[in-house]
Structure 1
Amino acid sequence: MERPRPDEPVTALPGVSYVMPVLNDVTHVGAAVQSLLDQDYRGEFDVVIAVGPSIDGTNELVEEMGRADPRITVVDNLAGTTPSGLNIAIRASRHPIVIRVDAHSVLPTSYARVAVETIERTGADNVGGIMDARGTSAFEKAVARAYGSRIGLGGTPHHVGGAEGPADTVYLGVFRRSALERVGLFDERIKRGQDWELNERIRSTGGTVWFTPDLRVTYRPRSTLSRLGRQFFSTGLWRGELTRLIAGSRRLRYFAPPVLVLGVSLGVVLGLLGLVLAVVGSPAGPVLLLGWSAPVAYALIVGASAVVVARPDGVRTMMWFLVVLPCIHFCWGVGFVLGYLSLASNIAAQTYKKGAAKSDARKS
């Protein structure tokens, strides 16, 4: 079927609202917004950017974009968190289809069109696809390789791809506004993992979350090791908290990094103790030296993974992969343990239950 020309308005298509929380993303936000303006979708659209109190010039940049294009609305997100920014942007938008966008993401020109077609074809409340991580420096390429490999983030469909169909969660998300309103928008107490938790509520109310590999979003990874570490510590922390509070989130793959951290750490401790005892002639020394088998085995796995996964991007990327992969595993794993034990989170189970009760009351 012949598609309409750019100058032919199509009123039958539902309008879409792009919502984007932004905080200290002056390097990436321009390309992210431009990818929205370049969409080939012919329905009406608006772009709502919820900008937090940034210190790198992000506020000034997005305000300038808003003045230059009337389709862009800029709203303040004083809390600065992702879920609060999303909710503020959603409430300020107006169309029946809401497309979540990340400031680190670049949407292909067909994204909105394919997403709306998929929603209408499947009847889903939320559709999404693959987070296609792409780096520019050797470090970023190593991070991208880790993102897209099973050894890195566990091989979920929205990282490595898979068959189209119902899913627990998807990357970003293209929502029916009615579904968001039905479940009460994002839970602003959950700073990471809010997508999974929202999709859990959508599915628990009879809605469908749909994964399709036809939606692929370019994602720009963190550019430094410290930022990567903070990102994954925070992600693991909140995943541990959600796993503790919500039974439906207890997937075995989430326990792999903390088990790895505990196993390697215990192996190092036993190995060091074995060295001390071996020096003083204790018969227990040689036995405890077997503890080194855990960290040595992990080091061999990391080394082999660097060759298999990162080799296409060159030697420098392979070398960075040797650092990036343990950083992801250990920061995520340590965060998960602390979150699961509720040692570093300000969310309590009782508070969560009260919030869920309020959400149920709104729906009824």
Structure 2
Amino acid sequence: MSMEISIICPTYNEEKYIDTCIDSLVKQDIDKEKIEVFFVDGNSTDSTVEIIKTYQKQYSWIKLLNNPERIVPYAMNYGIKASQSDIVMRIDAHSFYADNYISVLLNAIREFGATNVGAVCRTDVLNKNAKTLAIGEVLSNPFGVGNSLFRLGVDKITEVDTVPFGCYRKEVFDRYGLYNPKLVRNQDIELNKRIKRDGGRILLVPDTYCTYLARETYKALSKNNFQNGMWNILTVYYTNAMDSLSLRHFIPLLFVLSLVIPSLLGLIWAPFVILSVLSFVLYFLLVCIISIKAYMKNEVSICYMILTFYVLHISYGVGSLVGLKRVLFKQV
């Protein structure tokens, strides 16, 4: 029996989430004899590998590969090279998938002849309390994470610039190249930009979805978004292409600069500080309005939402600032 689809999941220290991810794959409405799932692990130091091996004993379609370089592009490239199908799907261990996720995307890429297809990605948290629900709400809000259609949702098949966890024809990687091994972050966005730049079609389909499980502490959230922000700048540097990302990826940097630059100029002439204060106050008023609306709709903590917005955007913007410093001072 020929393999219909090869699914690749990079992992590194995912013991909190890997069960939820695999359980959702077990429930998929596709014949498991026609799929293979590669978990490509970057030498996890927790029990991730042991958990995967436990599932392997039960399900022969689960396979385990090693990724000594420990970053996603290498994991994806190892999985692509090992795959036996002409269709490849990328998934994430921090997520779980609707029961028809694989079958819908597989049918879509066959029916519509697209280069890449994906679905809406919702945001949730594994452990629910006032703080984590606020984090989940902010990470689902357009002001929090931008206006990508894969976050907002669509009611019909729509051509887009990128999708989160794509389903590709394997020939794509011969034509456009593999994942860029220089990119610790943004590797999916950059690949999709390459595809679009060369006339490929990326479709977002409405008939299924996945759910991303957000980080649940402010320390983890700020660390993750600092790296995201920094790698926005480094992605442009390594690809030598401004269109490797979109304008929305640089808005937090502009916000942080609106606080930092007037404050520094205030050392020369004190009234400049007013501009920083004005930026801070206007942002505060905006997130207050958004948080109040969220409370009225979902009864989410207003205080936690406001704090989450600040943690998210400042850590992201500072990360971009550090990335800019690294590029300007040749620290890359």
Fold-level similarity (TM above 0.5): yes
Counterpart amino acid of residue 302 in structure 2: M
Between 16-25 and 205-214, report the one with greater CA deviation. Answer: 205-214
Equivalent residue for 1:253, pick from 248, 251, 267 = 248
Taking a change above 3 Å as real, the CA distance of residues 346 and 234 of structure 1, as seen in their structure-2 partners, is farther
Q: Where does residue 141 of structure 1 map in the other structure? A: 133
Counterpart amino acid of residue 21 in structure 2: A
Equivalent residue for 1:150, pick from 121, 126, 142 = 142
> CA offset at residue 307 of structure 1?
1.2
Give yes or no for the alignment of 1:58 onto 2:48. Answer: yes
Q: Where does residue 181 of structure 1 map in the other structure? A: 174
Cα displacement string for residues 175-215 of structure 1 (whole angstroms, at most 9, x for unaligned residues): 11111232222111101000011112222333211122333
Q: Where does residue 33 of structure 1 map in the other structure? A: 22
Alpha-carbon distance in structure 1 between the residues aligned to 2:331 and 2:291: 37
Give yes or no for the alignment of 1:338 onto 2:322. Answer: yes
With the length of structure 1 as denominator, give the TM-score of the two structures. Answer: 0.82
Equivalent residue for 2:164, pick from 162, 171, 193 = 171
Give yes or no for the alignment of 1:324 onto 2:308. Answer: yes
Match of 1:326, SS state, is helix
Counterpart amino acid of residue 295 in structure 1: F
Alpha-carbon distance in structure 2 between the residues aligned to 1:123 and 1:252: 29
Taking a change above 3 Å as real, the CA distance of residues 345 and 155 of structure 1, as seen in their structure-2 partners, is farther
Pairwise CA RMSD:
2.6
Equivalent residue for 1:121, pick from 97, 108, 111 = 111
| Identity percentage of aligned residues | 28
Alpha-carbon distance in structure 2 between the residues aligned to 1:347 and 1:164: 43
Cα displacement string for residues 224-255 of structure 1 (whole angstroms, at most 9, x for unaligned residues): 11111111111111112223421323533233
Equivalent residue for 1:198, pick from 191, 211, 214 = 191
Alignment length (residue pairs):
326
Match of 2:165, SS state, is strand
Q: Where does residue 68 of structure 1 map in the other structure? A: 58
Contact 2:3 2:84 in 1 (8 A): no
Taking a change above 3 Å as real, the CA distance of residues 82 and 310 of structure 1, as seen in their structure-2 partners, is farther
> CA offset at residue 19 of structure 1?
0.8
Taking a change above 3 Å as real, the CA distance of residues 291 and 22 of structure 1, as seen in their structure-2 partners, is closer
Equivalent residue for 1:18, pick from 4, 7, 11 = 7
Alpha-carbon distance in structure 2 between the residues aligned to 1:55 and 1:115: 33
Alpha-carbon distance in structure 2 between the residues aligned to 1:183 and 1:154: 27
Taking a change above 3 Å as real, the CA distance of residues 27 and 288 of structure 1, as seen in their structure-2 partners, is closer
Contact 1:51 1:76 in 2 (8 A): yes
Counterpart amino acid of residue 293 in structure 2: V
Cα displacement string for residues 90-143 of structure 1 (whole angstroms, at most 9, x for unaligned residues): 222211221111001111011111112211222101101211001233333222
Give yes or no for the alignment of 1:78 onto 2:68. Answer: yes
Match of 1:211, SS state, is strand
Q: 5+ unaligned residues in a row in structure 2: which ranges?
A: none
Give yes or no for the alignment of 1:301 onto 2:286. Answer: yes
Between 324-333 and 141-150, report the one with greater CA deviation. Answer: 141-150
Equivalent residue for 2:277, pick from 251, 267, 292 = 292
Alpha-carbon distance in structure 1 between the residues aligned to 2:264 and 2:190: 37
- Greater C-alpha Rg: 1
Match of 2:252, SS state, is helix
Contact 2:190 2:245 in 1 (8 A): no
Contact 1:99 1:175 in 2 (8 A): yes
Taking a change above 3 Å as real, the CA distance of residues 344 and 54 of structure 1, as seen in their structure-2 partners, is farther
Q: Where does residue 232 of structure 1 map in the other structure? A: 225
Match of 1:130, SS state, is strand
Q: 5+ unaligned residues in a row in structure 1: which ranges?
A: 1-10, 275-283, 349-364
Give yes or no for the alignment of 1:265 onto 2:233. Answer: no
Alpha-carbon distance in structure 1 between the residues aligned to 2:112 and 2:205: 11
Alpha-carbon distance in structure 1 between the residues aligned to 2:265 and 2:136: 34
Alpha-carbon distance in structure 1 between the residues aligned to 2:35 and 2:26: 9
Match of 1:175, SS state, is strand
Taking a change above 3 Å as real, the CA distance of residues 184 and 308 of structure 1, as seen in their structure-2 partners, is same
> CA offset at residue 56 of structure 1?
2.0
